[in-house]
Amino acid sequence: LFSVVCVSPSLTMFRKNKGDDSEERESSSADQKCVEAYLGSRPDESRWLGWAKEAKGKSSDERLVLITKYRFVLFNAKNKLHKEGHLLELNEIKSSSPNELTVVFKQFEVTIQSPKTDEIITNIRISYAESLGSLPKKLQFKLDVQPDSRLIGIPVVENAVCGGFNATYRAMCDHNNVPVREDICWDITNLFPKNNLTDFNLEEFEQPISPPDMAALFSTLHYNTFFTGLIIRNVAFTDGKKTIQDIAELLRRNSTISKLVISNNTGLNKDALAIISDALAQNGSTQINIVDLSNNQIDDKSINAFGNWIFTLPHGIVQLDLSGCALSKNGISALCTSFRKNLNLSGTLIRLNLSNNQLDAEGSSALGSWLAQPNSLRELNISSTNANLETILPAIVRGCPDITSINLSENKSTPKTKHLLMQFLASSSSLKFLNLNGCLLNIDTINGILSTISKNLYMQNFELLIGGNKFGAGVTIPASFSSASPASSSSSSSSSSSSSSSSAAAAGSGGGSPLQQFGNIVSQMKNIVSLDLSDNEFGDEILTFIVNALVNNESVQTLDLSRNFSARPTKTRSLLLDALIALIDSTCPLESLVLQGGKNFVLKSDVCVFLDGVGTNDTLKSLDISGNQMGNRGAIAIGKTLQTNKHLVRLAFDENNVGLSGFLAIETALYRNRTLKQMPLPIMDISLTIKNATDEQQKKLQQSITNIQNSISRNQNPKTSMGSSGAPGGSSSSSGGPSGASFNNQLVLMNSAAREQLERLRFKIRSTNRDTSEESYKILNDAENNDAALSSLLNIVESNHIALSAAVSEKLCQIASDEIIPIVQEHYRAMVCEMMEKVEQQYQSFETDMVRRLHTSIAFSGKELDGASVEKILLDHAASEISSKANDSFLAAVEIASDYIFEKLNDGLEDIIDGIQTGPRQSQRFDESALQAIFGTTSSSTSSSMATSSPAVSTSVGKKPKTQKTTKAPKSPKTSSSGSSTPSSSASDSGSLAIPVSASPDADPSPLSTSSPASSSPSSSSDESEPKKKAPVVPTRMSMVGGAKTPLAKTAPIPAPRTSTVGGAGSPSASAASPTPSSASSASAAPSSPSTVGRGGRGRAVLPMGLDPTKLMPGAGPAPRGRGAGPAVAARSDPEPAADPKKGSSGSSSSSGGSSTKPPVSAVAHRPPPAIKKVKKPVAATKNLDAIPDTETTELTHATRDRPMMAAKRRPPTRRPRNLSANDDD
């Protein structure tokens, strides 16, 4: 016997064994060169090399035998290649004696005579096992060796990666003479196992893949049993016919692939499906049950062949997608016929997609015939198929009880379709999704669909898509909308929500116009969670009505209103924006809002108003405002919104013409924002900006985009959000703590308007140069030190936040070691014990000691969960999330505290200002008898009556009051039987301010009343054509200044009464005991600053117009205009009063009905005011602080109306009233 020592392919030595007479010889240099030349051009290596004889009948020739990893090679005596065979083509090895064997390949058969036969057999088996060992046993070569003792054991490759795909692939590349793609081997080794990928997807590999490479890959899959899916999508076939043949051969042989996807490829012929279908029909063991052939051109011949395969399929198909294949009605009819023939298909097909084909009448009838049979279909998509819905809908009702999703979009509807669809919706108990986009449904049909869905209690969490129906084009606006809309756009969010809700309910309750019915149904439906109303041509006005109706809705979480705005801005645009703000602030559980623009439907800079409202919203989580062309101004508004909003998670804003400055603003905002986790990069805007930017601008843009991505990544990882990141532009944060800068920025943004109001009041007090009391000094001192005090509050919050984070981390680590790890270990031991019991029961041949040894091996070699891993998981995720949520609660507490502090400080400063305007408090003391003589009441009754205001009247802040030139006289109070006049009971009951001017029974009562219009109406006049004028609105002490949200005082507008007359017929002459304050009445005819009556009900008696009752003495002239009071107006007579039809008098309540001749007006004596020290105020700083002009006018002048902020109606990013000019007509 000879033994072979193969050190390398170039060194082969034969040596003579003991007991052998043959000579030992070394291979010649020519033999070595021959082997090196053969192996040098191949990715192969030598395994065995030796000399043997090839038997040819009775003669034999000497051959040099070479065995490599993939081949069996014979060289002749002259070192020329004689024969070679690939191991893939090896069919059989036969050997009946140790000196002879026969090797059978597909192309040839050779008999070798050699004493080294067993070594040759062993090396062939080893090479075959390493490269093709993953092949099924039935496909491997046959081995017939006698006796069996000659066969020795060979190493078996176990747990090969992806079923030994790489080894087989290399063998296939060697067989096809194709270079090995090492990148594919790396992906198979590293990506697929770690991600548990069982679908062989060509898109996973680097493209392009040449046809020879595809042939090698598909050939490898012939015999692979690991992959269960084949996905060939978006591939350009340069040799389509050859590639389809390779795919067909793969599908003819493979028996493990259950998912087949050949979609959206180029270069395939129309008969490709026919070739694939024939190959599938020849594979009796195929497991394919998911087929996706979408977006391929398929002719009728191919679809017929595919239908024949479905008919012969022993098992059914679960999913079938033939969308976009240009199937004709005949092809779909043949396909549906095969559906009916395969009885298994009715119980297995769950998802069917035939969209973007031509069903027409014949295809609809064939599909309806199968749908009418009992089946288990759950998802049906027949969009854009020209389907006959009158045939398909009844079939769905009869045969599809479990269907959950239907897509009928882009199909024509008929009047009969409405009733069939409503019948199906009323009977369905499982439907969750319905797409009716582009079906051209009218609003009556839409109302019927919505009403039916709302009434079906089995439909919960329903998604409805009714976009693109354009039913808003022919809809008429309800007549009540013009009057209801302003009510829905109130200044505060709460009043806006309630007003819009009531208007929407009122609009729909009558069941009048179809739009009113639509609004009523939308506001009341409770089972639709997602609603798509895009592309319906509503326009601003109709869209405003719909949004107002949605305020009352209690179920919609996702809403799409894209491309419904008017092509050009309309007068209703501001109302629409206010309605959208009211919607997101209402009780509607809206979480996702889509407001995409289009070519002719853009909001442009108007979207900034809506973004201001989003800044203070706490319910919206996703917002899409793409395609609105808002520019850099809108991007800056987005930045301000992100700095104040703490709940928005996703934001999309591409195609808005955002430039470098806009991206810089968003970068700064995201540096301060900790909640936004998803923001798709605006690729269109970035590319446009780069195209028009210089090199320096491109660098800035690149850095800005990098910082934006880093901020989003930081927000997605809660752990990194706890620390401080670099400031925008690369600068580092200089705050005292890890999150101090964030706290300070949020506080400044939260209270910027309130701080501005506080500073304005402080400056106004300092400009008076008046001495203040001890109480006032404390208030001023607190206002001066407010910023430092709030900073100390923030330091407390920050220190507690840091301490909380540390405590939570420590507690979680303790929980991990004390509770979680013991629980895991307990379940692990229980699982192992249960496994051992099962092994002992199932494997009867195993002894007890064997099971015990197995248990010991698991205990010592098993991988248990360690405490460090659990702690790391808890600290990386749970701790950071808990700390983040706690941070939100801490900030909410700071916000409440700061709002309360600013409100109380503002109240105190307002009290100081009122005290300065009306004089010192001790000057309010006066004689009760004098007050009784002047006003006919006591100080207590006057104070109490003046402290009462009408709750029914709300002051509109920020509106310019209308000038009132002529005001009708209010009704005279009813007189008692004794002739004395008393204040009207209706006025007192309604809480209005009524001050009787005279206590004389014959005096003409002209009360200064601030009653609401409902409680105080003017007297009838003979001039019926005279328009009714509303009373001017008096600004209150806590008005909205600069956008700050402060409480409104319940102060009613003060009407200007006509001048009172005294000394008429039947009335006593004027005396000192009963004077008539004509000058006061005249002065009251002009508007004035607000009359403050005891803040908080403290009972300070302060008259309207800033009058001091202690200075009103009998017999004096008119009172001069004091600080904060209205301008002095000369006493004038009213027009001739209208005759009372009941009493026959003319304005005067005389018991005897005297003459209507007017007596001269008597003057009221007035004590000169004390001297006021003049203060030289700064020219620039107090320029706008004049409360009332000196000119004679009846128009109220707001203290801050001339400021630029009010003139431009600028809205800072805080909660504030919207649409300041919406209620001007009120």
Residue among 404, 400, 401 at smallest CA distance from 379? 404
Higher local confidence (pLDDT), 393 or 1048: 393
d(CA 303, CA 286): 19
Furthest-apart CA atoms within the chain: distance in Å: 166
Is the pLDDT at 696 greater than 80? The verdict is: yes
Q: What is the mean pLDDT of residues 85-91?
A: 91
Here the tokens at position 709 are 């991505």
β-sheet bridge partners, residue 75: 64, 81
Please give the average per-residue pLDDT across 391-407, as a whole number.
Answer: 94
Beta-carbon neighbour count of residue 316 at 10 Å? 18
Distance CA(873)–CA(718), nearest Å, equals 12
Q: Which amino acid is at 300?
A: D
Which residue stretches of 1063-1177 are H helix? 1078-1084
Q: Please tell me the number of Cα atoms within 13 Å of 687 on its side-chain side.
A: 5
CA atoms within 13 A on the CB side of 61: 12
Distance from C-alpha of 840 to C-alpha of 1131, rounded to nearest angstrom: 115
Q: What digits encode the pLDDT tens for the residues 192-206?
A: 988 889 999 999 999
Predicted local distance difference test score (pLDDT) of residue 327 = 92
Query: Is 60 exceeded by the pLDDT of residue 1206?
Result: no
Tokens of 1068: 């006593």
Non-local CB neighbours of 1105 within 8 Å, separated by 6+ positions: 1080, 1083, 1084, 1088, 1091, 1125, 1126
The 8 Å CB, 24+ separation contacts for 832-839 are 832/858, 832/859, 832/862
pLDDT band at 784 (very low <50, low <70, confident <90, very high): confident
The span from the CA of 1214 to the CA of 1157, in Å, is: 59
Nearest residue to 410 (alpha-carbon basis) of 382, 446, 438:
438
1130-1144 per-position pLDDT tens digit: 334 444 444 444 444
At a CB cut-off of 8 Å and minimum separation 6, what does 185 contact? 166, 169, 170
CA distance 1002 to 189: 109
Extract the tokens encoding 604.
Answer: 């442009």
Residue 491 confidence (pLDDT) above 70: no
* Confidence label for 1219 from pLDDT (cuts 50, 70 and 90): very low
pLDDT for the residue numbered 762: 82
Q: Does residue 1193 register a pLDDT over 70?
A: no
Return d(Cα 501, Cα 478) in angstroms, integer.
16
Element (H, E) at 2: strand 2-8
Q: Which token pair is 625?
A: 């405002």
Of the two residues 1067 and 266, the one the predictor is more confident about is 266
pLDDT surpassing 60 at residue 321: yes
Alpha helices in 318-468 (DSSP H): 329-341, 345-348, 360-371, 389-399, 415-427, 443-455
Q: For the chain, what is the radius of gyration of the CA atoms?
A: 46
Q: State pLDDT tens for residues 548-560.
A: 999 999 999 999 9
Whats the size of the chain, residue-wise?
Answer: 1226
Beta strands at 100-105 and 90-97: parallel, antiparallel or unpaired: antiparallel
Strand partners, 67: 48, 72
Is the pLDDT confidence value at 528 over 70?
Answer: yes
pLDDT band at residue 1099 using 50, 70 and 90 as cut-offs: very low
Q: Is cis: bond before 208, omega within 30 of 0? A: yes
pLDDT: which is higher, 1013 or 297: 297
- Confidence band (pLDDT; 50, 70, 90) for 1055? very low
Residue 102 one-letter amino acid:
T
Tokens matching residue 265: 């490829």
pLDDT tens figures, 336-363:
999 999 888 889 999 999 999 999 999 9
pLDDT in tens, 972-1015: 444 333 343 333 333 334 333 333 333 333 444 333 333 333 33
Of 1060 and 135, the one with more pLDDT:
135
Task: Give exposure, 963-979, as e/b (b: 16+ Cβ within 10 Å).
Answer: ebeebbbbbbbebeeee
Average the pLDDT over 437-452 and give the result. Answer: 92
| Position 919 confidence tier, pLDDT thresholds 50, 70, 90 | low
| C-alpha span between 157 and 136 (Å, rounded) | 14
Distances (CA, A) of 712 to 620, 652, 672, 704, 709: 18, 13, 11, 12, 5
Nearby residues of 512 by Cβ (< 8 Å), 6 or more positions away: 478
Tell the residue number behind the tokens 């064994």, with chain if given.
17
Q: Which two tokens stand for residue 579?
A: 């309605």
Distance (Å, whole) CA 525 – CA 459: 11
Q: How many other CB atoms are there within 10 angstroms of residue 717's CB atom?
A: 13
Contact between 165 and 223 (Cβ < 8 Å): no
Helices vs. strands in the chain: H and E counts, helices first: 36, 27
**Beta-carbon contacts of residue 458 (< 8 Å; ≥ 6 apart):** 428, 429, 430
Q: Which carries the bigger pLDDT value, residue 7 or residue 184? A: 184
| Tokens, residue 1014 | 């409902």
State the average pLDDT over residues 850-856: 86
Helix axes 389-399, 360-371, angle to 10 degrees: 10
CA distances from 667 to 661, 931, 1152 (A): 10, 66, 82
- In contact, 373 and 400? CB cutoff 8 Å: no
List helix spans (H) across 99-221. 117-132, 165-176, 182-194, 211-221
Tokens found for residue 395:
């079939």
SS3 of 835, please? helix
| Residue type for position 9 | P
Model pLDDT, residue 727: 52
What pLDDT shows up at residue 1101?
42
User: At residue 931, what is the residue type?
Assistant: L
Burial environment of residue 346 by CB neighbours within 10 A (0 to 12, 13 to 18, 19 or more): middle
From residue 773, give the alpha-carbon distance in Å to each of 770, 903, 914: 10, 21, 13
| Burial annotation 795-829 (CB, 10 A radius, 16+ → b, else e) | eebbeebeeebeebbeebbeebeeebbeebeeeee
What pLDDT score does 184 carry? 93
pLDDT at 1009: 37
Do the Cβ atoms of 278 and 305 come closer than 8 Å?
yes
Amino acid found at 129: A
Q: How high is the pLDDT of residue 1171?
A: 55
pLDDT of residue 1198: 45
Predicted confidence (pLDDT) at residue 814 exceeds the cutoff of 70: yes
CA gap 629, 638 in Å, rounded: 13
Residues 6+ apart with CB under 8 A from 149: none
What pLDDT score does 951 carry?
A: 38
1002: Cβ–Cβ under 8 A, 6 or more apart, which residues?
Answer: 979, 1064, 1066, 1067, 1068, 1150, 1151
User: Which pLDDT score is estimated for 817?
Assistant: 83
Q: Is the per-residue pLDDT at 1030 higher than 50?
A: no
Are 623 and 650 in contact by the 8 Å Cβ rule? The answer is yes
| Averaged pLDDT, 402-413 | 94
Q: How far is CA 350 from CA 290, 318, 321, 404, 536, in A?
A: 10, 5, 11, 10, 32
More confident residue, 980 or 297: 297
Measured between alpha carbons, how far is 177 from 666 in angstroms, rounded to an integer?
A: 56
> What average pLDDT is seen over the chain?
73
Q: Which of 671, 617, 621, 611 is nearest to 649 (CA)?
A: 621
Give the residue carrying structure tokens 């070679």.
84
Low-confidence winner among 112-121, 572-581, 898-907, 1087-1096 (lowest mean pLDDT): 1087-1096
Q: Is 465 helix (H, G, I), strand (E, B) or coil?
A: strand
- Residue listed under structure tokens 């199932």: 842
1178 φ/ψ angles, rounded to the nearest 5 degrees? -60, 145
Backbone angles phi, psi at 470, to 5 degrees: 55, 35
Res. 387: pLDDT tops 90: yes
Over the stretch 365-382, which tens digit does the pLDDT of each residue have?
Answer: 999 999 999 999 999 999
Give the model's confidence band at 158: pLDDT under 50 very low, under 70 low, under 90 confident, else very high: low
How confident is the model over 406-424, as a mean pLDDT?
A: 91
273 within 8 A of 305, measured Cβ to Cβ: yes
- N-to-C CA span, the chain: 118
- In this structure, what token pair is assigned to residue 421? 């669809």
